[in-house]
Structure 1
Amino acid sequence: MTHESLTQEEVLLEGFLLLDTPECLRTELIDGEIVVTGLPDGDHETYISRIVRQVIRKSATDMDFSGNKGLKVPRHARTVPDHVIPDGTLVPHDQRLFRGAGPWTDCAGVSMVVEVTSTKPDRDREAKRHCYASGNIPLYLLVDREKSSVTLFSDPENANYREVVTVPFGKSINLPAPFSFPLKTADFL
């Protein structure tokens, strides 16, 4: 295929996939925009650790976790998928989704993605929410440091989530199946 026959989105994807990003940066393709961010700070990683610890101990289903796993997320009205890197990706252990996967894998089979807001919180609140819903990822858990809250988005349809539950830090939020337990946020304070 020649460059003349590629769409602008396909040329952008080709360039994105050829980027040689230094290890201290994360590069994503979200909504037709190349997004480069620095590595997360210690507080960010503490939130992820608190969530993963509870998921491993309390989930009704044995889950595998991957931090910073690249997901290809199909988007309606776009010819190329978004390429996003959630702070955390959870899949049932028996699916073995991560085994043998390259840097970018399909999002089918993902049970939940987790994001902790950083320097551009609106990207996590809006753009990534629509990405994950477009990929039919059943659950999106957002830890919003600026708002001191945790939001669970569920029931994806038409590039958005139909169910949204938000609790302030310190309150529990119920994670539905396959997790089936109340996630405690008291130590997020």
Structure 2
Amino acid sequence: MSVVEDRVLTQDVFEELARSAIRAEEALRLEFVNGKLGVKAVPDGDHGRIIVWLTQICMQSGPAGRWLFGAQGIRVESYRRGNARPDAVLAPLDTFVGQGEWASPDDVLMVVEVTSYDEDTDRRDRVEKPRAYAETGIPVYLLIDRDSCEVKVHSGPDGVRYEQVVTVPFGKTVTLPDPVGIELDTEPLQSWVR
């Protein structure tokens, strides 16, 4: 990946690098958050099952006309240009039509991350992403943390951080606040952790 060695990592260089990784069919997902290049491993089977479970809940519980999109790239951060590829994005059905790989977050209702068992999960999912999503103004950030067996619901972005963070252990019910408006029973998550 000499493109990084030869040039400063800008938005354009990042997007070229991300396209190269896709063409190489490598098992990587690239992000550019807080001015840093990040690499995410391809999710495991339990990770995928959690997204399917959450998709079913969102489709059954919420109003018609919205969808939980898997791995949709969105532009994040108001102060620096950046790109994130959340594990899932809840938005109205036609939100990303015609936008390409890195879409505007303007109509996004919620982003979802499910922790992976890799070494930079703490920095990426628990520190950098909440800040980037709050700066972007995304109303709800749902973190399903398989390491701690907890669900964290971040809401009330003030342009810098989320003002409310509710943490519950797997097995409890938690409210995903408006504009999501879903009661989430986390009992099934106990089956999908190592």
Q: Distance in 1 between matches of 2:59 and 2:111?
A: 15
8 A Cα contact 1:151 1:164, kept in partner = yes
Q: Post-superposition shift, 1:139?
A: 0.3
8 A Cα contact 1:67 1:88, kept in partner = yes
Q: Post-superposition shift, 1:112?
A: 0.2
Q: Are 2:51 and 1:63 aligned?
A: no
* Alignment of structure 1 residues 42-57 onto 2, 5 Å: 42-57=45-60
Residue matched to 1:16: 14
Residue matched to 1:89: 89
* Alignment of structure 1 residues 98-177 onto 2, 5 Å: 98-118=96-116, 119=118, 120-122=120-122, 123-177=124-178
8 A Cα contact 2:77 2:133, kept in partner = no
- Write out per-residue CA displacement over residues 82-118 of structure 1, whole angstroms, 9 at most, x where no aligned residue: 100000001123xx11212200111101000000011
Q: Distance in 2 between matches of 1:176 and 1:69?
A: 22
Q: Distance in 2 between matches of 1:29 and 1:90?
A: 21
The RMSD of aligned alpha carbons is 1.4
Task: State the identity %.
Answer: 37
Q: Post-superposition shift, 1:127?
A: 0.3
Q: Distance in 1 between matches of 2:171 and 2:87?
A: 21
- Write out per-residue CA displacement over residues 137-181 of structure 1, whole angstroms, 9 at most, x where no aligned residue: 000000000000000000001321000101100001111223322
Unaligned runs of 5+ in 1: 1-7
Residue matched to 2:36: 33
Q: Distance in 2 between matches of 1:134 and 1:156?
A: 7
Equivalent pairs, count? 175
Residue matched to 1:182: 183
Aligned partner of residue 51 in structure 2, secondary structure: helix
8 A Cα contact 1:61 1:178, kept in partner = no
TM-score between both structures, scaled by the size of structure 2 = 0.85
Aligned partner of residue 182 in structure 1, secondary structure: strand
Residue matched to 2:5: none
TM-score between both structures, scaled by the size of structure 1 = 0.87
Deviation beyond 3 Å, 4+ runs, structure 1 = none
Q: Distance in 1 between matches of 2:12 and 2:180?
A: 37
Unaligned runs of 5+ in 2: 1-7
- Write out per-residue CA displacement over residues 21-69 of structure 1, whole angstroms, 9 at most, x where no aligned residue: 1332111101111112221001111111111111100114532221111
Counterpart residue identity of residue 25, structure 1 = L
Q: Distance in 1 between matches of 2:85 and 2:47?
A: 15
Q: Distance in 2 between matches of 1:65 and 1:159?
A: 25
